[in-house]
A = this chain, B = another copy of it.
Amino acid sequence: MAIKKMGAQTVKLLNPPSIVSTGTIVGPKEGEGPLKEYFDVIIEDDLFGEDSWEKSESKLQKEAIKNALDKISFPLNKIDYIFGGDLLNQIIASGFSARDLQIPFFGLYGACSTMSESLSLGAMIVDGGYADKVICVTSSHFSTAERQFRFPLELGNQRPLTAQWTVTGSGASIVSSEGNGPYITHITTGKIIDPGIKDANNMGAAMAPAAADTIISHFKDTGFTLDDYDYIVTGDLATIGKEILLDLAKEEGLDLTEKHRDCGLEIFNNEKQDTHAGGSGCGCSASVFNGYFYNLLENGKINRILLVSTGALHSPTSAQQGESIPGIAHAVSVCTSLGKEG
Question: With A15-B1, A89-B317 as given contacts, are A130 and B121 in contact (CB-CB < 8 Å)?
Answer: no
Query: Of A17-25, A61-69, A99-107, A243-251, which stretch is located at the interface?
Result: A99-107
Q: How far is the CB of A284 from chain B (nearest CB, A)?
A: 17
Indicate if A189 sits at the interface (CB-CB under 8 A).
yes
The answer to the question of A9 belonging to the interface, with a C-beta cut-off of 8 Å to chain B, is yes
In this assembly, does A263 line the interface, its C-beta being within 8 Å of a C-beta of chain B?
no
User: Cβ of A109 and Cβ of B128 under 8 Å apart?
Assistant: no
* Nearest-Cβ distance from residue A313 to partner chain B, whole angstroms: 4
Q: Do the beta carbons of B318 and A92 come within 8 Å of each other?
A: yes
Question: Are A326's CB and B95's CB within 8 A?
Answer: yes
State whether A107 touches B105 (Cβ < 8 A): no
Number of chain copies forming the complex:
2
Q: Give A186 Cβ to nearest chain B Cβ, in Å.
A: 11
Query: Residue-by-residue, is A192-210 near B (CB-CB < 8 Å gives 1, otherwise 0)?
Result: 1010000000000000000
Count residues of chain A with CB under 8 A from any CB of chain B: 62
A266 an interface residue at 8 Å Cβ cutoff? Answer: no
CB contacts (< 8 Å) of A120 on chain B: these are: 106
A190 touches B104 (CB 8 A): yes
* Binary contact track A295-322/B, C-beta < 8 Å → 1, others 0: 0000000000000000001111110010
Which residues does A use to contact B, with CB under 8 Å?
1-5, 9, 11, 15, 51-52, 54-55, 80-81, 85, 87-92, 95-96, 98-99, 102-111, 117, 120-121, 124-125, 127-132, 148, 189-192, 194, 313-318, 321, 323, 326, 328
